[in-house]
Amino acid sequence: MSLATRPAPVIDNWNRTFWDACRERRLVLQRCTATGRCFFPPGPVSPFTGRPDWEWVTASGRGELWSFVVFHQKYFDGMKDELPYPVAMVKLEEGPYLLTNLDGMTAAEARIGMRLAVRFPGGPGDFLLPQFGPEA
């Protein structure tokens, strides 16, 4: 598997801080200042209030495997050598869900509800893609 051949994320005004933090091996989320609730993906307003009152916070990087599927079809040329591969939905401790891949484990080892922690094993170009593996 080579994370270097994966598609690069598309950067915009709202997700740039997220990807910059990933380069530093940190997971960050936006937090609504009115409700204290975190949200993802990044956006211009809080989904809880519809207002632009939010701040960036460093997440714990921990969560649980909420769901996963195994892709057997090639959707991206840069990932064809990884087939089949799991795509996981992780429920972060802070509340939001993050669509990601599993690192350091196979789909056969994955169990719904298992504790996971973020890892930054690599990515295309100068990106580090957040992935999740078993919590130590």
pLDDT-based confidence at residue 1 (cuts at 50, 70, 90): low
* Distance set, CA 105 to CA 53, 78, 91, 133 (Å): 38, 20, 18, 7
Distances (CA, A) of 87 to 44, 46, 51, 72, 101: 27, 27, 32, 11, 5
Calpha distance 118→88 (Å, rounded) = 12
What whole-number distance in Å separates Cα of residue 7 and Cα of residue 118?
Answer: 20
The answer for residues whose C-beta is within 8 angstroms of residue 32's C-beta and 6 or more apart is 38, 39, 46, 47, 48, 49, 53, 54
Predicted TM-score of the model (pTM) = 0.93
Question: 109 pLDDT band (50/70/90 cuts)?
Answer: very high
Please tell me the predicted confidence (pLDDT) of residue 78: 87
Domain locations in the chain as residue ranges: 9-131
pLDDT in tens, 51-76: 999 999 999 999 999 999 999 999 98
Share of the chain above pLDDT 70, in %: 99
